[in-house]
Amino acid sequence: MTDYFDGTVSEPLLAEIRLHMAECSHCEVTVNTTQQTIHIYRNQEIYAYELPETLRDKMRAAIMEKCRCSKPSRK
């Protein structure tokens, strides 16, 4: 996917990716979200927003909880 986001993917593969995304909303959302994230970081737009500390803490806690839930349990 790095080549896709960098715009260097071959035309046949690009056509295949586009076809898949047209049929798979999960992948479409994932790709669009990733593209937006890349855009924000490349343009350093993230630094234009100052979040309140309470919101940052809530977001960090939610992300960490999601990470803990997605890890396979070790037995």
- Please state the domain extents for the chain: 2-70
What pLDDT does residue 70 have? 64
User: What confidence tens digit (pLDDT) does each residue in 21-48 have?
Assistant: 999 999 999 999 998 888 877 777 556 6
Q: What angle do CA 5, 60, 32 make, to 5 degrees?
A: 20
Q: Which residues contact residue 14 at a Cβ distance below 8 angstroms, ignoring those fewer than 6 apart?
A: 4
How far is residue 32's CA from residue 20's CA, in Å, rounded to a whole number?
A: 14
Q: pLDDT tens, 41-72?
A: 777 755 666 778 898 899 889 888 888 776 66
